[in-house]
Amino acid sequence: MDINSLVRSHSKRQLHETVGINFQRRFHVTNQLISRLGLEAELEGHNGCVNCLEWNERGDLLASGSDDVQIILWDPFRHRKLSTIQTGHHGNIFSIKFLPKSNDSILVSGAADCKIRVYDLNLMETTQVCSCHGNRVKRIATAPNIPFLFWSAAEDGLIMQFDLRTPHTCPNTNNNVLINLTNHLGKNAEAKCLAINPLRPELLAVGANDPYVRLYDRRMITPSTIKYSDLGRIPWERPYTHRAESVDEDNLPPGCAQYFVAGHLPIKHKDYKKRYRTLASTYLTFSPDGGELLVNLGGEQIYLFDVNYPRRPKIFDIRSLIGVQLNGFGKDTICTRVSNAQSTSALNGVSAPNGVTNGTTRPLATASAATSVSSCPLLVREKNGKAPKPLSPKCELIKREANSVFEKQNYTLAISLYNEALNMCPDSVALYANRAAAYMKRAWDGDVYAALRDCYTALKLDHAHLKAHFRLTRCLFELQYTKESLECLQIFKHKFPEHATSHACESLDRDIKAANSLKIETDTEETNSESSSSRRNKKSTNSKQEELWRSLSYDYETRYCGHCNTTTDIKEANFFGCKGQYIVAGSDDGSFFIWDRKSTNIMRVLRGDDSIVNCLQPHPSYCLLATSGIDPVVRLWSPRPETGEKDDREIEDSEDAASANQRRMNADPLEVMLMNMGYRIRGVLDTDDEVEGRTETTEVQCRPS
C-alpha cells in the first residue's frame, strides 16, 4: 500500500471508530512488520517444557501450560506473571482454552493423565474434573459465541462434547461421545487434534494418527454412549486408566464427513512406514474467514485445504493430454484418437472422461471392451494455435533469474523465484513447466506430486506443451503409477512422433515397462506365497464406510515446506494476520518459519528455542507472536525498532535451513537420535544434473551451544 492510501485510511480512522478497528486489524501484520520481527521478551516461571499457549479474546492475557503441570497467567505487555494455577493434573498439560464470552473467567485444560479440568479464575478453584477419556488428552476446542460448550480429542480415539449447562459425572457409561474413531479405524486409532470453524461452528475438523484430515458436520451427529472396563494404571508412556469395552451402534451417518489428504500420500504412505516415519496430524486450524483448513502433518509438510471449494486429486486425466473436449462420446466412453491403430492396445484402463479420480491409487473406472480405445477415431496432433502470452518485464526478469539458479542446481531458490513470478503471471505455461522441472530435481517429500499438478496446469493452458507432457509421464512413473505412466507415454509418442525415438523417451519407456513387469511378478509371488489365513490377518481394520470416505478425499490447495516435524506430536501451524496473510510453524531444529501464504515462499526463519519450537500463537489484534517449546520459557516476538542492527536470532540462509530440515526429516532413526542429543547431521548431495537418483553421505558435527 502506498503512503497516500495509508494517510487516507488513517484520516478515516480518526472519524469513525469502526473504521479505526478495521484499520488496526488491516495493518496489524504487514510485510514491513514481518521483516522487523524480533525477540521482545522471555517470560520465565515454568520448570518444564511449555506445551500450549492461549490468548484471551481481548489479547491482554496469555496463558501457558507446561510439563510441570502448572498453568501460568501472564501480562504480555508488562512481561510479568499474574498468577500460577496448581492444576491438580498428574501428567503433562497439552492444551488449554478460555471459554468465549465468559469474561475470561473459565479456563479448560487437558493433560497426559487423561483428565480434563475446568477452572473458575474468579474463584481460583477447580469446578469440574472429567475422567472420561482413556488416554492422553491432546486438544481442547471451543467455538466463538458459544460459552457453554467445549470439545476434547484424546489418544483413545474419542472426540467428546461437554456442555457446562448440565451436571457432569464420570460413570462407567459415558453418553457424550461425539466421534469414535475406533469404530472405523480399529483399536489403534488416536485422535491428535481438533478445531471448530469460527464462522460455521457446526463444522469440526479432526486430525488422527494417519495422513487423513476429517471434517464433520455436528448437526448430523447424535452423541453416542460408550462403556468402559477398568484396566488399572500402566505407569509408562501411555497412561491408560480405562478402555472402551463396548460401544453403541456407530452414530456417524454416511454424509456427515468429508476427508482431505495430499494427493500423493495414499499410495506413498507405505514408503513412509518403511522409513520408520509415521504420518499424523499434530495441529489443525481454520482460517479467519473459515474457508480454509491448515494442517501440520507430522512426518511431512504443512498443507492448506479449501473447505468451501475442495479440489479433486490429480492422477491421470486424459482430457489434459488430448486437449479436446470429450462431449458427445457418451458418459462412459474414453476416446483417445491414436494415430497408429497398431499401438492402441497399450491404452487400456484409463480414467473416466470427467477426469475425476478416487484420490487413492487408481482411477474410478476403466474402459470396457465395448468402449475400448481401438473403437475410437484416430488421434491427430492438435496444437493450441495461440502464441504464449508475453510476460511483464519484471516477471521476465524473475523468470530468467530462476532459470539461472536452476542451472546452478539451486532448486529451492529456483522454486521460490518461480512462485514469485507466478504470483504476477498466473497463466504462464512456461513458469508452471519450469517449476515442475525444479520440483522433480529437488525431490523433497511431495515434490513429485506438486510437479505433476504443475504439468496438468501447463497442459490445461497449452495441451501441446511437449515438456509438460513428458514430465507428467515421469511424475506418474516416480509416483508408482506404472500403468498410467505407460498410457501417458504412449499418448506422448502419438502427439509428438518426432520425439518418440529420442534417447530420453526410449529410456523412460524401458524403465516403465521394467517396473510394470516387476510389479506384476511381485504381486503374483505374494499371491501364491500367502495362505488364506495370512491374507485374512492382513485384512484392513478400516470399516467399509472409512474406505469410502477415503476414496472420496479432497486434495490440498497449497503446501508450505522448510520446517521439520518428526520429534513431537504437538507441533502447531497457524495463520498470522487478520486475513491469515502469513503462515507460521515451529521446527525440530529449534527455529520457526514464516511463509507468505499466497506465494508459499519463506519470508523469515528465526531461532525460537534451544531445541524444538512447538507452539506459535499470534495475538488476536497486534503484531505480537508468542512461542514456546522444549525450553521452560515463553518468548514474545514483535517488530523491533529500525536501528539497522543485525538480529542475532535470524537465520539468514532460509533455503539452507529448509534443505537441512528436509534431510533431517528423512534421516534414519540413529541420525535423529544424534541430532536430538545435540549433534548436527550435514548431508553432501551428488548434484549431477544428468543423474536422476541422488546419493548422500553424512558427517556428524557438534551443534554449537
**Alpha carbons 284 and 46: distance in angstroms, whole number:** 26
Instruction: Tally Cβ neighbours within 10 Å of residue 229.
Output: 11
Per the listing, cell 485374512 goes with 536
If you ran DSSP here, which 8-state letter would residue 456 be given?
H
Of 269 and 385, more confident: 269
Work out whether the CA dihedral 498, 502, 506, 509 comes out positive or negative: negative
- Between 447-461 and 466-478, two packed helices, what is the crossing angle to 10 degrees? 150
| Residues 614 and 51: beta-carbon distance below 8 Å | yes
| Residues 326 and 615: beta-carbon distance below 8 Å | no
Average pLDDT of every residue of the chain = 82
From 253-257, 332-336, 477-481, 676-680, the region with the lowest mean pLDDT: 332-336
CA-based nearest residue to 583, from 610, 609, 601: 601
Per the listing, cell 499474574 goes with 82
pLDDT at 271: 72
Phi, psi of 36, rounded to the nearest 5 degrees: -105, 5
Classify the phi-psi angles of 332: left when phi > 0, otherwise alpha if psi is within -120 to 50, otherwise beta. alpha
Q: Supply 551's cell numbers.
A: 476414496
CA atoms in the 13 A half-sphere facing the CB of 619: 22
Rounded mean pLDDT, 652-674: 84
Write the DSSP string, 351-392: PPTT--B-SSSSBS----GGG-GGGSPPP------PPPPPPP
pLDDT at 502: 94
CA atoms in the 13 A half-sphere facing the CB of 645: 9
First to last CA, the chain: 42
| Residues 53 and 626: beta-carbon distance below 8 Å | yes
In this prediction the pTM is 0.84
Of 334 and 461, more confident: 461
If you ran DSSP here, which 8-state letter would residue 328 be given?
T
pLDDT at 278: 86
Q: What percentage of the chain carries pLDDT values higher than 70?
A: 75
CA atoms in the 13 A half-sphere facing the CB of 437: 21
Cβ partners under 8 Å of residue 705, min gap 6? none
Instruction: Tally Cβ neighbours within 10 Å of residue 409.
Output: 14
Does the pLDDT value for residue 19 go beyond 50? no
- 3-state DSSP assignment of residue 430: helix
- Distances in Å between the alpha carbon of 612 and those of 278, 280, 295, 590, 656? 18, 18, 19, 4, 18
DSSP bridge partners of 574: 584
CA-based nearest residue to 278, from 215, 331, 216, 208: 208
Return the H-helix or E-strand segment holding 582. strand 582-586
**Alpha carbons 688 and 98: distance in angstroms, whole number:** 54
Q: What percentage of the chain carries pLDDT values higher than 90?
A: 65
Work out whether the CA dihedral 297, 302, 307, 313 comes out positive or negative: negative
- Distances in Å between the alpha carbon of 438 and those of 75, 426, 470? 47, 17, 14
Per the listing, cell 492444576 goes with 87
Are β-strands 50-55 and 37-44 bridged in parallel, bridged antiparallel, or unpaired?
A: unpaired
Cβ partners under 8 Å of residue 369, min gap 6? none
CA geometry: angle 702, 634, 302, nearest 5 deg: 70
Does the pLDDT value for residue 650 go beyond 90? yes
Return the H-helix or E-strand segment holding 20. helix 17-27
- Residues 388-441: tens digit of each pLDDT: 778 999 999 999 999 999 999 999 999 999 999 999 999 999 999 999 999 999
Q: How far is C-alpha 337 from the geometric centre of its chain's CA atoms?
A: 39
pLDDT at 531: 57
**Alpha carbons 312 and 358: distance in angstroms, whole number:** 8
Rounded mean pLDDT, 565-588: 96
Query: pLDDT class for 461, splitting at 50, 70, 90?
Result: very high
Return the H-helix or E-strand segment holding 162. strand 158-163
Could you tell me where the DSSP H helices lie in 98-224?
182-185
**Alpha carbons 85 and 119: distance in angstroms, whole number:** 9
Rounded mean pLDDT, 601-614: 97
CA-based nearest residue to 36, from 598, 625, 627: 625
- Residues 310-324: tens digit of each pLDDT: 999 988 877 777 764
DSSP bridge partners of 559: 303
Does the pLDDT value for residue 163 go beyond 90? yes
Does the pLDDT value for residue 306 go beyond 70? yes
Q: Supply 95's cell numbers.
A: 492444551
CA-based nearest residue to 112, from 52, 174, 37: 52
Domain boundaries, the chain: 393-522, 561-682
CA-based nearest residue to 566, from 653, 667, 415, 488: 667
Q: Supply 198's cell numbers.
A: 469460527
pLDDT at 224: 86
Return the H-helix or E-strand segment holding 73. strand 70-75
User: Which residue type sits at 149?
Assistant: L
| Residues 672 and 698: beta-carbon distance below 8 Å | no
Classify the phi-psi angles of 578: left when phi > 0, otherwise alpha if psi is within -120 to 50, otherwise beta. alpha
If you ran DSSP here, which 8-state letter would residue 304 be given?
E
Q: What b/e sequence results for 303-323 when a residue is b if at least 16 CB atoms lie within 10 Å of its CB, and e otherwise?
A: bbbbbeebebbbbbbbbbbbb
pLDDT at 506: 95
- Residues 237-263: tens digit of each pLDDT: 444 444 444 445 688 998 999 999 999
If you ran DSSP here, which 8-state letter would residue 342 be given?
G
From 402-406, 517-521, 562-566, 635-639, the region with the lowest mean pLDDT: 517-521
If you ran DSSP here, which 8-state letter would residue 678 be given?
T
- Residues 23-76: tens digit of each pLDDT: 555 667 899 999 999 999 999 999 999 999 999 999 999 999 999 999 999 999
Does the pLDDT value for residue 695 go beyond 70? no
The domain made up of 393-522 has a fold known as 1.25.40
Classify the phi-psi angles of 59: left when phi > 0, otherwise alpha if psi is within -120 to 50, otherwise beta. left
